[in-house]
Amino acid sequence: MFTRIDHIGIACRNLDEAIRFYRETYGFEVTHEEVNEEQGVREAMLRINGTDDGGASYLQLLEPIRDDSPVAKFLERHGEGVHHIAFGTADVAEAAATVRERGVRVLYETPRNGSMGSLITFLHPKDCGGVLTELVQARTDGAPSAE
Amino acid sequence: MFTRIDHIGIACRNLDEAIRFYRETYGFEVTHEEVNEEQGVREAMLRINGTDDGGASYLQLLEPIRDDSPVAKFLERHGEGVHHIAFGTADVAEAAATVRERGVRVLYETPRNGSMGSLITFLHPKDCGGVLTELVQARTDGAPSAE
């Protein structure tokens, strides 16, 4: 059902400073930047490695663009750090339905737009051992995005 | 320098329950279990995907075996959730020296034993945007472990 670690989402107060840290300290480069109005974030994807399902694993750096976004609330409560983890799947709607049947609350009725044209949903962290867990269907995994 | 996301370390109160959750909900299987006395944890590695550097990405589930272990203290302060992230490298001592030169505190003078015969070190989370960051040289990456 899940074929890769798609990304690790990291909440930061200043995206440009976070990008600079990851570039200058580790040599990681930004693959993609975008604003996701629905999620209330400005974000950068840093590709770390390819995966044997034909995809890749990324770090996703997230800066809130408004005070009521989930990432802004996370920063208020916890400070900077790991916000969520994401698994890649070929069919996010099907994976979400399966996981829901197994007793985990899925946060969206239907998948929404994620990074780089992906389709995403989130699972309730209280049902996942405290881990906010995202499911990602990359644009290249098959079906078109919801854009 | 870093060629893959090696693993995501997740702190849990009960390893057997966490393993059951990841197996029954997502179909992830345990690749390896061990006790790391030095780190004060009982742990399970769940292989998620292969990576294009010849390695793999795992989830690492961590249950403390004593109250003064770092993972026990994390659970006290934060509850269950993501404890750290780890990048894979061919030479952990060299990578640690490079990162130290770039102004990040490295927590061990010399690398220590990690999961599955790996050599590891940790970087100070306050120097890494709140992210406790581990560097991992897998046994298969080259040099023998410190065992």
Transcribe A53-77 into DSSP letters: TS-EEEEEEEEESSTTSHHHHHHHH
Report whether A32 contacts A116 (CB < 8 A). Answer: yes
User: Does residue B146 surpass a pLDDT of 70?
Assistant: no
* Angle subtended at Cα A137 by Cα A133 and Cα A139, rounded to the nearest 5 degrees: 140
In a domain, A78, yes or no: yes
Amino acid at A66: R
pLDDT of residue A110: 96
pLDDT of residue A140: 74
Chain A residues touching B48 at Cβ < 8 A? 2, 4-5, 87
Query: Domain of B126?
Result: 4-141
CA atoms in the 13 A half-sphere facing the CB of B116: 20
Chain B residues touching A49 at Cβ < 8 A? 3-5, 51-53, 57
In a domain, A147, yes or no: no
Residues of chain A with pLDDT under 50: 142-147
Chain B residues touching A52 at Cβ < 8 A? 49-52
Which of A129, A36, A8 shows the shortest CA–CA distance to B129? A8
In a domain, A41, yes or no: yes
In a domain, A146, yes or no: no
Q: Chain A to chain B, count of Cβ pairs less than 8 Å apart?
A: 110
User: Does residue B12 surpass a pLDDT of 50?
Assistant: yes
Of A1, A24, A129, the CB nearest to B27: A1
In a domain, A131, yes or no: yes
pLDDT of residue B143: 46
The domain that contains B51 carries what CATH number?
3.10.180.10
Q: Is A63 a catalytic residue?
A: no
Digit-coded pLDDT (tens) for B62-85:
999 999 999 999 999 999 999 999
In a domain, B146, yes or no: no
User: Does residue B140 surpass a pLDDT of 90?
Assistant: no
Task: Name the domain count of chain A.
Answer: 1
Which of B11, B80, B18 shows the shortest CA–CA distance to B39? B11
Q: Is B43 a catalytic residue?
A: yes
Digit-coded pLDDT (tens) for B20-54:
999 999 999 999 999 999 999 999 999 999 999 99
Of B21, B50, B81, the CB nearest to A52: B50
In a domain, B124, yes or no: yes
Q: Is A76 a catalytic residue?
A: no
In the 8-state DSSP scheme, what is residue A78? H
- Using the CB atoms, write b or e for B7-36: b if 16+ within 10 Å: bbbbbbeebeebbebbeebbebeeeeeeeb
Chain B residues touching A12 at Cβ < 8 A? 129
**Is B50 within 8 Å of A48 when comparing Cβ atoms?**
no
pLDDT of residue B144: 46
Q: Is B60 a catalytic residue?
A: yes
In a domain, A87, yes or no: yes
Digit-coded pLDDT (tens) for B97-110:
999 999 999 999 99
Digit-coded pLDDT (tens) for A45-78:
999 999 999 999 999 999 999 999 999 999 999 9
* Angle subtended at Cα B119 by Cα B93 and Cα B91, rounded to the nearest 5 degrees: 35
Give SS3 for B115. helix
pLDDT of residue A143: 46
